[in-house]
Each structure stands twice: as C-alpha cells, then as structure tokens.
Structure 1
Amino acid sequence: MGMDREMEEILREMRGYFNTGKTKSVTWRKNQLTGILDLIHENEDAIFKALHLDLGKHPVEAYRDEVGGVEKSVNKSLSCVEKWMAPKKSDIPLLFFPAKAEVLSEPLGVVLIFSSWNFPIMLSLDPLIGAISAGNVVVIKPSEQAPACSSFLANTIPHYLDSNAIKVIEGGPNVCEQLLQQKWDKIFFTGSSRVGSLVMSAAAKNLTPVTLELGGKCPAILDSFPNPSEFKLAVKRIVGGKWGPCSGQVCIGIDYLLVEEKFSSSVIEQLKKIIRRFYGENPAESKVVSRIVNKHHFERIRNLLKEPLVAASIVHGGLIDEENLFIEPTILLDPPLDSEIMTEEIFGPVLPIITLNKIQESIEFIIAKPKPLAIYAFTKDETFKRRILSETSSGSVVFNDTMVQFLCDTLPFGGVGASGLGRYHGKYSFDTFSHEKAVMHRNLILEIEPRYPPWSKFKLEFLKLAYRLNYFGLLLHMLGFKLGLKKYN
C-alpha cells in the first residue's frame, strides 16, 4: 500500500471513529486530558533529555517554556471543559416571540496539527489540548527538525491517549505534502510564513479552515526611565525576551530594539551587564544557552552577520562556533535598514538596536513594516501607550514586559496579517477547534401572516414596522391587521 493510500485509510478509520460520537462525551475528553497530564508527569526526564538533544535546552528552561506550560494548559481545560461544552442561552429579539435560542459548540471533526521545532513539546500538546477539549480526533505532525522530540511523541502518546482518535505521523516535507492532499476539517499550523502560505493554499482546495501561528519581526520600544531601578529591570526583561528562550529562536521573541539615540550607549552597557550576569563571561560554556537548531539555520544567521556593514555594526558578541552550532548573544547598533537582518525575521540570538531622535518615532517605524506578532513597549507615558494601541496593529501588545502574554490563558494568542490567522489558548483554543451552531426553538401557535405572499402594500408597511418598532409596538399594530387586511388587498 502506498503512503497516500495508507494515509487515506488512517483518515477513513479516524473519521469513522469520530462519527460514533464517542469523542463528544465529557468523559472521553476528560480522560484524554488526564492522559496528557500523566504523560508529562511520568516522562518529565525523558522530555528534558529530548529537548536537550534537539535544542540544547537546560531542564529549567525546558520546564518553564514547555512542560510547565502544558501542565498549566491541561489543568485549565480539565477544570473548564464542562462549562465550555454547555449550551449557551442566547437572547433573541421580541419580534421572534414565542421562541428561545441557544448556541451549541460542536467538534469540527478530523483535525491536523503541524507543530514547530523551537517548542516541539509545547507547540504539539497545547493545540492538542484545545482539539481534545472540543471533542475532535487529531493527527499530529511534529517537526522533523526536532527528531528526538518527534520520536518521543510518536512513541509515548499511544500509551496515554486513545490511539483510535489521536495519532502521531512523523516525516519530512514529503509527508507534509501528502498530509495536505487529504481532506481535513481543520488544519492548525505553527511555523514560518512561507510554509504557512503553502498550507493555506492546500487547505483552500477543500475549503478547510486554518489557524496559522506564524511570526514576524517583533519590535521592542524602550522609553527613558529616570528611575535607575526601573531602567535596569526593563533592560533585564528585554534580555530575557531576546536571549532567554531557545537562544532567540522564538516567534514572539524580540527581533529589534528601538531607543532614543542619546540613551543608546547606556542601554548597550546595561544590556552587556545583564548578559554577563545571565550567561557569564563565556556564554558558550555556561550550559544555559540553547544552541541553534541545525546547520541550515546556523548558516542562515551567520550569513546575516557576514554582510560588511552589518558586521561593522556589532558592538557586543559575534562569536560563532560552527562545531557546536553556537552563536553568542550579539548586539548590533544601527545596522543598515535595507540589510537582510532588518528586513527578514532573525530568529536567533542577534539584537539590532535602532536609534531614533524621539521615541515617538517608533510608531512610524513599526507601521511601515508588516504587522508583527507582538509589540513590547517599555514606557510609563500613558499618552504614548494610547498611541501605540490606536496607531499600530499587532497580534498582541505588552507594556513593560516581554512574552508573558503567551502564558496567560485568559488572553487570545495569535497574529494578524502576515504574523498569523486565528487564535488559541484556554477557551480560545476550545473555540478554535469548535463550530458554534445556532439553534432556535419556535412553536406552532402564533403566526405573522405578512411574512408570506401574496404581497400587498399593507404587508410592506407591516414588515417595515416589524423591523423598526419594538415588539410591544408591533403587537398594537397587529391588532389592526385583520381589520385592515381586506382594505389593502
């Protein structure tokens, strides 16, 4: 049997299983969610090992950014899934009296999840939590660029979750292509804009809805802080948001920093101090800096730094270790704005600093570029905050911190424009993998005859009143309906 036929058979069986209705029960959903919880609790060391093999992540970073996030997400869904599933009563206009209405959340069906290599556990299991909570059957395609994590998921998930409803399919681009040729009820993709456009194009052939979690050049704005402690904390959070997770290989990580020129030297010195405090004098030996995922991405970042005018703008770092796929935390000062490092997403441990005459100019700078996944603004100026919110567009805005929005289940996470399509996390994940079905209940007691032909002037006037007046006004006019009907006919 060829791979295409094999996939068709897998999907046929999964769709048949979904049609039994078993996955719609709250018991099934909670059992699967509990299974995910057991999976991460009983395999924490194995997860840490896989993340270290693929990305060089320290166990503390691995727990903070992956295992802990999954645990928090699944506990949230376990405590809320019954409430999310419950029919929602809907108010309806009095015009439709007597009637009642409700909204039912039903699962979409057979779902495909493409996860990304930079958070290979979190970005596989977190969307899965939403899809399960909504009652779907799911195929997960982990990234082949994180092979240890992909293998871990493929080998471990069948022992904890319903293997009739949740499957892991491994492979490279050819497997992705074959998966995209199948008919899905939803595709959830995390990755680059280039591949995201291919996913969306393939999905369009079957009118399959998609959620695309992409990226973009996320800016950070650093205003002046007269208070030294506030300034130091702001810079500390910028360092954490740039180099802290996965050595800058993060879709919501800071891509570049905007500061006023007169403050740039003090900002650079403070950045250097925090980098030394976090990673020591020799970050390559600190064992707390993740490595670049593979040689291809290593070469891509190195080539960004090779451009002569870009290389000349390096004010800190720049050390490159090809054997260990390591690039030191690096700071650039005013690289050419038309250089590739300022037009393409860096996705690595390099921070360009762009200087401005006035920090308010950052708004014009940002809106001249594609809409980012996140904007980080460090400022106490409330007027400036309002301008950022009203004049820019991005997936999210965070004031005076970085990346914390990703861990907040009560906020939607997603992009806009080139940075993504759709949203998830918490209830938003449940909604992403659900169809909200409108249901109206009416009876056979009262009828409004003017809704039917044959048409007359009276019926036109009546319908105009029905749309314009409140229900009680309409009732008064209905009293004269039968008396006047013959006259207008």
Structure 2
Amino acid sequence: MGEVEKSLAELRKTFNSGRTRSVAWRKNQLRALLDLISHKEEVIFEALHQDLGKHPVEAYRDEIGVVIKSARFALNNMEKWMAPKKGHIPLLFFPAKGEVLPEPLGVVLVLSSWNFPISLALDPLIGAISAGNAVVLKLSENAPACSSFLAKTLPLYLDNSAIKVFEGGADVGNELLQHKWDKIFFTGSSRVGRLVMTAAAKHLTPVTLELGGKCPAILDSLSNPSDMKAAVKRIVGAKWGACSGQACIGVDYVLVEDNFKSTLIELLKKTIKKFYGENPKSSKSNARIINKHHFERLRNLLEDPLVADSIVHGGSSDEENLFIEPTILLNPPLEAEIMTEEIFGPLLPIITIDKIQESIDIINSRSKPLAIYAFTKDETLKRKILAETSSGSVVFNDTMIQFLCDALPFGGVGQSGFGSYHGKYSFDTFSHEKAVLQRSFFPEIEPRYPPWNSFKLKFIRLAYNFDYLGLLLLLMGLKR
C-alpha cells in the first residue's frame, strides 16, 4: 500500500470514529493553527521572501493576517454555524417538526496555489476543520520554501491522524486525484481546474474551483481630484501591490473614456513612482515573478509584435532576478494574447472607449471575471453594471477588499470558478445540510394511499394548493 492509500485509510478511520465532529476537536485544531502562526511568524516571513520576494508588511497583510482573521472568526462563530436550523413545516404535516442539520462531508482534498502559498493553503483548511472534516492538504511545488515549511510544521501542531500534508509536483497531484474524496477544493488556473473536474467526475465528487479571470476596472470620470487620486492609488495597489500582479483578483485591465487617458497615465506613473521609487527594481516593496517559466510567459506577452508599440511606461525586465518593471500599455489589440488570457503579472493594459457605458459590452464579450471593479459616483452606471454583467463579485470604488470580508462569499462564476468560501461560506462549502423531519404516528393521512377515488383527488389537490379551509370543509362533508 502506497503513502496516499495509507494516509486515506487512516483519515477515513479517524473520521469514522467521530472525533473530528466534536466542537472541542475543531476548536483545538484552530487554536493550534493560531499558535503555529504566532510562534513561526518570522519563519513565514522568510519563506515568503524566498519564494516570492514579499516584504513582511505585504506578507502579513495578504497571508498571516488573513489566516489569523479567518481562524478567530471561525472560533467565535463555529458553534452557531453547527447548530441545527429550524425548518418551517406546512400545517398538513401536523404534528411534525423539521430542522436542517449541518454535517461534515468526510475526507476532503484541498489543492492550494503558489501566489499566496500560506493563506491559500490555510484559509480553506480552516473551513474544512471548522466543518469537522478530515483533510489532505496538497501544497504547491512552485513555492518550495513555503511548501517545505508547512509540510514540516503543520504535523507538529495539528492532529496528524486527521490532517495530512503532501508536497510534490503534478505527479503527486495526479495520484491524489485518482482517489475518491468527499470534496475537492482547488485554487489555481482554469487549465488545471478542468483536470480536477475531470478526475472528480469519475467518483461524482463535488468540487469547489477558485480560478481566475481577467478582472476589469471601470474608471468613470471623477470630477473631484482627490477621488481620482484615491481611485488610481487603489488600482495601482491592486495591480502591482499584491504579489506583483500575480493575484487572481488583481486588476487585469482598465476601461476608461478616451478623453481621460492622458490624465490616467500620468496619475498611474506618479503613483508607481511614489510606491516603488525611481528604480522599482531596487524597491523592497516589489514582489518578484514566481519562476522562470512565468517570467518568460510575461516577457512573451510584451514582445508580441501586436503589443510592443502599445507600451507607454515600463517594459524592462531582469531575468536573473525574475523582475519585470511595472508596465502600462495603451490600447493593445483586443485580439492580442495579453487581452485574451489572464495576465497574472505586472502588466496593465488601458483600453479606451468613447462612453463609459461601453465598458459593459467589452466585459460581456469575454468570459465572466472573478471580480469587476468600478470607480464611479453614477448610480445609474452602478445599476447597469449589477444588472447587465455577471462576475464573482463587484466592488465599487475600491479593489480587492472583498477577499478580506468574512461576511460575503468569495468565489467565481463560469470560467472564473464556482462555489464560494470565507467565513460561514467556508463552513458551508465543506458541509452537507441534512434535512431532518420528525412526525408522530397519528393522525394518518389516508388520501395519500390507494385505492384512488374522486375524494382523494380533491383532497390532494387542495393540499398541494395549501387550501386548508377547503380541506376542512371537504373533511366535514361540506361543499365550498
């Protein structure tokens, strides 16, 4: 028996014992996870710097802080989430009572991503633990320092008979996918997401796919200069300030009216300079590209003959240090690869239009994005965006903050994924809501049984139409 089979057998045994269902076990695991983060903060900072060049402030904001927030939120709310919810039972069923009972799915597989290798591993894990599951966590080989840290450290803090950690490349992922799971949670690319779904279909395994998409920012004309500066600062932060653009909810491109393009470009340049100085390559606030493969992919986007002439700022790169300068492009052809594939890097196309309302048509001509960001005070435009587009989320006048909000579901739609998590939505995605109906042996509803007659048809017709007065009159032998 191989390592995967042994681990699955142990996890199944642990889950079947009922241990992971208890409130105490769930809370103990989450408290241990918080202890791990507290004890190993500096080690995590170092691992994130090794893999992605993240500054400790960025690492805390996007990784450590996310995990702490999620774990504490789950600890404070878990018992409420676990409590049965009363179901409202029709009078026809009297005397009866109904409830919806959340129960763990069983043994689940979490496949994490490399761009936020701590939070995108541990945040779904928090949801799986909160719901009472046994878990296999497969880490991304593209972030080797973080993967090694988690693989070595998690077993020291968590229940190793209920939570297993696997490292390795695609071969390990493929082996794991050959087995039957009670749920698969995947964060990554659409290409790999299709492979996950194909493997899951063999066992009818439910999946949650957190994918990507070309998230647009619609920038309306804002008459107040301070509003415009804030909007541009938030766009720059969402493009270059989160893992150097390697974020699924980062701004992929900007839609703006043609008469405002020059103002926007100048504001972008000034903000980039303010954030990263005269020489962004030497800035310690700039994360780097994850590896040579992704570096070459991004450089090829810039060297595309269709795109080269559209560069209006930046464009330089350093292969040895896996650095690509924050780059702005003006109106690259919509058929160019940079406008048809998710960029996932520090390149920002600006697409100009005559009227800002045209942005809706451009968005709808493409796959549904994970997020739409719209900077506007025009309530009519807001309503049109909400009514006429489809996306995982919509954020007005800010960027990326929806990811941090536990009160809202986070997830995609269409090509950007399906299923959601964060807060109670994480608990729900790893739970099954079991319907429970309890009824007494009396009274018996005889019209539900053969032999059939006209009276029973009238009874059933009135019952399905919730006509209780009609039923009463029928039973009393009166006509209505």
Query: Same fold by TM (over 0.5)?
Result: yes
State the AA in 1 paired with 2:84.
P
- Which residue number in structure 1 is paired with residue 33 of structure 2? 36
1:218 paired residue number: 215
What pairs with 1:381-460 in structure 2 (closer than 5 Å)? 381-460=378-457
Residue 474 of structure 1: how far off its partner (Å) = 2.2
Q: In 2, Cα distance between the equivalents of 1:286 and 1:441? A: 65
Q: CA separation in 2, counterparts of 1:465 and 1:88? A: 29
1:362-410 deviation per Cα after TM superposition (whole angstroms, max 9, x unaligned)? 0000000000000000000000000000000000000000000000000
1:237 match: 234
Equivalent residue number for residue 190 of structure 2: 193
Q: What is the distance in 2 between the residues matched to 1:118 and 1:57?
A: 10
**1:73-128 deviation line (CA, Å, top 9, x unaligned):** 00000000000001111111111111000000000000000000000000000000
- Cα distance between partner residues in 2 of 1:473 and 1:75: 53
Query: Is the contact between residue 7 and residue 164 of structure 2 (CA under 8 Å) also seen in structure 1?
Result: no
Percent identical among aligned pairs is 73
SS of 2:307's equivalent in the other structure is helix
Secondary structure, counterpart of 1:308 in structure 2: coil
Counterpart-to-counterpart distance in 1, 2:383 and 2:186: 32
Q: Equivalences for 1:196-207 in 2 at 5 Å?
A: 196-207=193-204
Q: Match of 1:216, SS?
A: coil
State the distance in 2 between where 1:22 and 1:470 align: 47
Determine the C-alpha separation between the residues in 2 that align with 1:303 and 1:469. Answer: 65
Query: Out of 118, 121, 129, which is 1:124 matched to?
Result: 121
Structure 2: distance between partners of 1:28 and 1:211: 25
Amino acid paired to 2:450 = P
Post-superposition offset of 1:273: 0.3
- Residues in 2 aligned to 1:33 and 1:480: alpha-carbon distance in whole angstroms: 62
**1:472 offset after TM fit, Å?**
4.5
Residue 175, structure 1, aligned to residue 210, structure 2:
no
SS at the partner of 1:258? strand
Partner of 2:420: helix, strand, or coil? coil
2:342 counterpart residue number = 345
- CA distance in 2: counterparts of 1:79 and 1:480, whole angstroms: 57
C-alpha displacement of 1:317: 0.6
Question: 1:163 aligned to 2:160?
Answer: yes
Query: Deviation at 1:468?
Result: 1.4
1:62-73 matches, within 5 Å, as 62-73=59-70
C-alpha separation in 2, matches of 1:469 and 1:289: 64
Kept after mapping to 2: 8 A contact 1:95/1:470: no
In 2, distance between residues paired with 1:474 and 1:84? 39
Letter in 1 for 2:446: E
Distance of 1:256 and 1:78 partners within structure 2: 38
Q: Aligned pair 1:366/2:346, yes or no?
A: no
- In structure 2, the gaps of 5 or more residues are none
Query: Which of 138, 143, 146 is the matching residue for 1:141?
Result: 138
Cα RMSD of the aligned pairs, angstroms, is 1.0
Per-residue CA deviation, residues 13-61 of structure 1 (Å, 9 max, x unaligned), is 1101100000000000000010111010110000000000000000000
Q: Which runs of 5+ in 1 are unaligned?
A: 484-489
Q: TM-score, normalised by structure 1?
A: 0.97
Aligned to 2:299: 302
Corresponding residue for 1:22? 19
- Equivalent pairs, count: 479
Distance 1:472 1:36 in 2: 58
Match status 1:266 vs 2:263: yes
1:470 CA drift (Å): 3.6
Amino acid across the alignment from 2:9: R
Which of these residues, 38, 53, 58, is aligned with residue 56 of structure 1? 53
Question: With structure 2 as the length reference, what TM-score do the two structures score?
Answer: 0.99
Aligned residues of 2:462 and 2:468 also touching (Cα < 8 A): no
Deviations 1:217-247 (A, max 9, x none): 0000000011111111111111011111100
Query: After TM superposition, where is structure 1 displaced by more than 2 Å over at least 4 residues in a row?
Result: 469-481
The structure 1 residue matched to 2:317, chosen from 315, 320, 327, is 320
